[in-house]
């Protein structure tokens, strides 16, 4: 590998400098209490920040109680959440990383069980079992997420204005808490995606029908994010680049959306995919290493906006090649970091750009350098 891996070359976005191009992808841990961060979050985020990534995302945080996915979702709907969020931004900064937070509303996928409790819609049985009952959900239309899921309330214009203002208040709180970057969650079938995708949106007013109409609310909220975020700091949007192989929201739609996002001041598009229940089993994008990289590449090239590549990226050499080939500007990892939070520090050693272990916290690096000298790895 080259002497100066791009993966470990600092990156400037607006006036914010990231020490490297590795991103801890937003990962919900469903471990909040009434939306408040707990000790779980502090150790989880602290461990990931200590591992050496340049940018660490705090998981999707709900703009109101209705917009939670589960009872355990992190919240940013109340000033009382600030103390916990400040601790998270702080611990990220202590390790020299920059702090990002994803701001979200679950839409028609709200009122759910945690994945390990079944991941289905909450019922009175959950209320009896754990005191966690269902709540009414709202989305672009009344189309349920799947068979057996409740039909959401179709948001009125007053509801739409209300949720846009909830997003505004959430972005303000995120900044007050000390985050450097806010990301608007437009992916994975949640509220914003339920407006974008023709599979979920069958409105016939100015928020439905044509692509321009379906993009209207996400663009309005993105503009609010930009208004509320300081000019010198960047904002991101995460999108589902496609709903499936040949169905629903397409990569051409994403390129058009990314151009509009750029126009309202979004700096980076975080390129995920999926999250819609598809009517056919054979329309899902197959899950192979780097399966979403082609989306990041095309959006970066055709919409002329930096992208994040994410999804089954595990090998440092591969991450480096994605950057070198100009397919993305940042590399995000999720599950690989749950498996090995020190992936960034280990990747730096492997790519030959941290010969003296300076990328590690001294409390670990001093010992591990000697362990390696003695044991050869
Ligand atoms: C435990 C877990 C929680 C996740 N929560 C979120 C989330 O809050 N917001 C989001 O946009 N994606 C979420 N994701 C998706 C990840 O950010 C990432 O895009 C996905 O896991 C693919 O990357 P990977 O193959 O490196 O894990 C989650 C994934 C995992 C494994």
* DSSP letter string, 333-348: ESHHHHH-TTHHHHHH
Contacts of 42 (CB under 8 A, 6+ apart): 87, 88, 91
DSSP letter at 81 equals G
**What DSSP line would sit under 274-303, residue for residue?**
--SPPSSGGGSPP--TTTTHHHHHHHHHHH
Confidence band, pLDDT 50/70/90 cuts, at residue 376 = confident
**Cβ proximity of 203 and 159 under 8 Å:** no
SS3 24: strand
Q: Which residues are catalytic?
A: 190
Residue 138 three-state SS: strand
Cα of 114 vs centre of ligand 1, distance in Å, is: 14
Q: Residue 204 pLDDT > 90, yes or no?
A: yes
pLDDT in tens, 23-58: 999 999 999 999 999 999 999 999 999 999 999 999
Q: Is 172 helix (H, G, I), strand (E, B) or coil?
A: helix
CA Rg, the chain, in Å?
Answer: 20
Confidence check: pLDDT of 359 > 80: yes
Closest residue (by CA) to atom 15 of ligand 1?
Answer: 27
Question: Could you give the count of Cα atoms lying within 13 Å of 37 in the half-sphere of its Cβ?
Answer: 26
What span, in angstroms and rounded, lies between the C-alpha atoms of 37 and 163?
Answer: 22
Portion of the chain with pLDDT greater than 90, in percent: 96
Global pTM reads 0.98
Domains (range + CATH), the chain: 6-375 (3.20.20.70)
pLDDT value at residue 3: 61
281-335: pLDDT as tens digits: 889 999 999 999 999 999 999 999 999 999 999 999 999 999 999 999 999 999 9
Percent of the chain with pLDDT over 70: 99
Q: What is the pLDDT of residues 109-127, one digit of tens each?
A: 999 999 999 999 999 999 9
Q: Contact 229/182 with Cβ under 8 angstroms?
A: yes
Q: Which residues approach ligand 1 with their CB closer than 6 A?
A: 25-28, 59-60, 102, 185, 187-188, 238, 272, 310-313, 333-336
Residue nearest to atom 2 of ligand 1 (CA): 27
What is the rounded average pLDDT of the residues 174-180?
A: 98
Residue nearest to atom 4 of ligand 1 (CA): 27
By three-state DSSP, how is residue 211 classified? helix
| CA angle, residues 151, 157, 163, in degrees to nearest 5 | 75
308 SS3 class: strand
Of 22, 28, 73, which is best to mutate to test ligand 1, by the most ligand atoms within 8 angstroms of its C-beta?
28
């Amino acid at each position: 590998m080259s002497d100066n891996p791009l993966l470990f070359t600092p990156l400037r976005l607006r006036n914010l400098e990231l020490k490297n191009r590795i991103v801890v992808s937003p990962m919900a841990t469903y471990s909040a209490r009434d939306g408040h961060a707990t000790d779980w979050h502090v150790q989880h985020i602290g461990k990931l920040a200590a591992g050496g990534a340049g940018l660490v995302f705090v998981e999707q945080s709900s703009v109101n109680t209705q917009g939670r996915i589960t009872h355990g979702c992190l919240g940013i709907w109340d000033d009382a959440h600030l103390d916990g969020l400040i601790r998270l931004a702080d611990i990220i900064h202590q390790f020299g990383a920059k702090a990002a937070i994803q701001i979200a509303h679950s839409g028609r996928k709200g009122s759910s069980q945690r994945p390990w409790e079944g991941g289905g819609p909450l019922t009175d049985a959950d209320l009896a079992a754990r005191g966690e009952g269902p709540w009414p959900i709202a989305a672009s239309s009344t189309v349920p997420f799947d068979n057996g899921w409740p039909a959401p309330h179709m948001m009125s214009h007053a509801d739409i204005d209300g949720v846009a203002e909830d997003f505004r208040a959430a972005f303000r709180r995120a900044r007050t808490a000390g985050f450097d970057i806010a990301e608007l969650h437009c992916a994975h079938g949640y509220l914003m995606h339920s407006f974008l995708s023709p599979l979920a949106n069958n409105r016939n007013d100015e928020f439905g029908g044509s692509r321009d109409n379906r993009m209207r609310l996400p663009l309005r909220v993105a503009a609010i994010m930009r208004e509320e975020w300081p000019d010198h700091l960047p904002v991101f949007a995460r999108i589902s680049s496609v709903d499936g192989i040949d169905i629903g929201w397409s990569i051409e739609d994403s390129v058009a959306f990314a151009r509009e996002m750029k126009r309202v001041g979004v700096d980076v598009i975080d390129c995920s995919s999926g999250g819609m229940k598809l009517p056919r089993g054979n329309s899902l994008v197959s899950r192979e290493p780097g399966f979403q990289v082609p989306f990041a590449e095309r959006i970066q090239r055709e919409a002329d906006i930096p992208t994040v590549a994410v999804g089954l990226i595990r090998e440092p050499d591969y991450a480096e090649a994605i950057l070198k080939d100009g397919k993305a500007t940042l590399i995000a990892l999720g599950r690989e970091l749950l498996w090995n939070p020190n992936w960034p520090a280990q990747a730096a050693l492997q790519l030959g750009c941290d010969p003296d272990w300076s990328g590690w916290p001294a409390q670990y690096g001093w010992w591990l350098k000697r362990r390696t000298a003695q044991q050869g790895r």
